[in-house]
Amino acid sequence: MIWYPYQQMKTMPPPYSIVDAEGVYLYTRDRALIDSVSSWWSVIHGYKHPRLNAAIHRQTDQFAHVMLGGLTHAPAQQLAATLEEWLPGDLDHCFFSDSGSVAVEVALKMALQYYGNQGETQRTMVMALQHAYHGDTFKTMEVGNDEDYHFILTAYGKSPHVVHVPTTIPALEEAFAKYHRQLNCLIVEPLLQGAGGMRMYDLSFLKRARELCDHYGVLLIFDEVATGFGRTGHRFVADLVLPDILVLGKALTGGYLGHAVTVANHKVYQGFYDDDPSHALMHGPTFMGNALACSVALESIALFREEDYLSKIQRIEAITRREMAGFSHPSVKEVRILGGCVCIEVHDPALLQGYQQFAYQRGVFSRPFLQYLYAMVPYVIQEDQLVQVLDTMKAWFR
């Protein structure tokens, strides 16, 4: 039997069984549902995209997977070269892995060892944001800050290796002044904190973070597993403020296969590049650089570039703002919109109980969590489909 994610198996309602999927639609035996979650925010081009399918087929005819230990191959090399050319600044060194959580682990390991390689062994601390979510592996849970996901926070108590700060500049400055000698990095989900509650914050915070990291010699990590590939309305937030390490996942493969990448700048890479073997990065997930994943990622990036996805996302944001204008209800605490993300935060999680079934009846798949009712739709959504998603969200409160 399947043990489902984030669920009490004893009480969970049966999941909807999907028999087909195409474009923005998931199909059960008796219904077509617009996927307003994009399969955990990854399926940006929609399902069964002919070009992505073809890329997978082409690669399958050659080989599906070859490890990167002592071997290499064109799809991984081409993806690294494409990212090197496409990503901003000197984010040029791509370390592949099989999931966002692992890619964040790699980023954190890089930051710790970067200083260790220089003999700065006291820099064992990570600064992260309050309400941060960076994955479900142990170090990412430790760096995360959401008790609703991570019992570790209560089971192990507060980690001495992590300090959490709110997204306000004075608090950030204060924390840097206090901890900078022990810090190796500041890690953030830039502009949009996803699983911590679709919280949006200002770019000025990131600009100041960059300045403080430079001033105190601390590495800046952007976890763009959720925000990357346009979700905030920007291609990457890294286009606006340049981090030292960038983490991408989810939409990297257009949501086709689990794959992720930790991209380091020259400075970080040079911190490992040495005659001393102990200065090497000791990491190597079995499926890193998987050829099917790299091939589909290349095609996904090509689509994103050729079909001007940023204007599609601007359109989604404009329609969302138009449709949500004037919407309010006593149950609603706040409506937040950024790029291809809209969130209705209610006062009490109980107020969203039953919403999923309500949406199902109206042809929308949704998966609210806690007090957050949100949509992160595939970018290929048509106006009437997006209006249907937003109308369903608003109708719940009528």
Catalytic residue numbers read 6, 133, 223, 250
Q: Which amino acid is at 289?
A: G
Residue whose Cβ sits closest to ligand PLP: 100
Which CB sits closer to ligand PLP, 149 or 396?
A: 149
Query: Which residues lie across from 21 on neighbouring strands?
Result: 26
Which CB sits closer to ligand PLP, 199 or 271?
A: 199
Q: How far apart are CA 217 and CA 54, in angstroms?
A: 46
Contacts to ligand PLP by CB under 6 A: 99-101, 104, 133-135, 189, 194-195, 223, 225-226, 249
In the complex, the smallest distance separating the C-beta of residue 106 from ligand PLP, rounded to whole angstroms, is 12
Query: Are the CB atoms for 374 and 341 separated by under 8 Å?
Result: yes
In the complex, the smallest distance separating the C-beta of residue 98 from ligand PLP, rounded to whole angstroms, is 8
In the complex, the smallest distance separating the C-beta of residue 5 from ligand PLP, rounded to whole angstroms, is 9
Which CB sits closer to ligand PLP, 249 or 368?
A: 249
Q: How far apart are CA 237 and CA 229, in angstroms?
A: 9
Give the largest Cα separation in the chain, rounded: 67
Reference 246, options 89, 98, 132; nearest CA is: 89
CB atoms within 10 A of CB 364: 25
* Cα 94 from chain centroid (whole Å): 17
Quick check: helix, strand or coil at residue 199? Answer: strand
CA distance to 22, 86, 279, 386, per residue, from 110 (Å): 39, 22, 11, 40
In the complex, the smallest distance separating the C-beta of residue 189 from ligand PLP, rounded to whole angstroms, is 5
In the complex, the smallest distance separating the C-beta of residue 293 from ligand PLP, rounded to whole angstroms, is 12
Question: Percent helix, strand, coil in the chain (nearest 5)?
Answer: 40, 20, 45
Which CB sits closer to ligand PLP, 248 or 393?
A: 248
Q: How far apart are CA 30 and CA 254, in angstroms?
A: 27
Which CB sits closer to ligand PLP, 208 or 250?
A: 250
Which CB sits closer to ligand PLP, 79 or 188?
A: 188
Which CB sits closer to ligand PLP, 23 or 194?
A: 194
CB atoms within 10 A of CB 212: 21
Q: How far apart are CA 270 and CA 396, in angstroms?
A: 54
In the complex, the smallest distance separating the C-beta of residue 228 from ligand PLP, rounded to whole angstroms, is 9
In the complex, the smallest distance separating the C-beta of residue 137 from ligand PLP, rounded to whole angstroms, is 7
Query: Are the CB atoms for 371 and 348 separated by under 8 Å?
Result: yes
- For tokens 């490992």, what's the residue? 272
- Edge-first strand order for the sheet with 332-338 is 332-338, 341-346, 372-375
CB atoms within 10 A of CB 344: 28
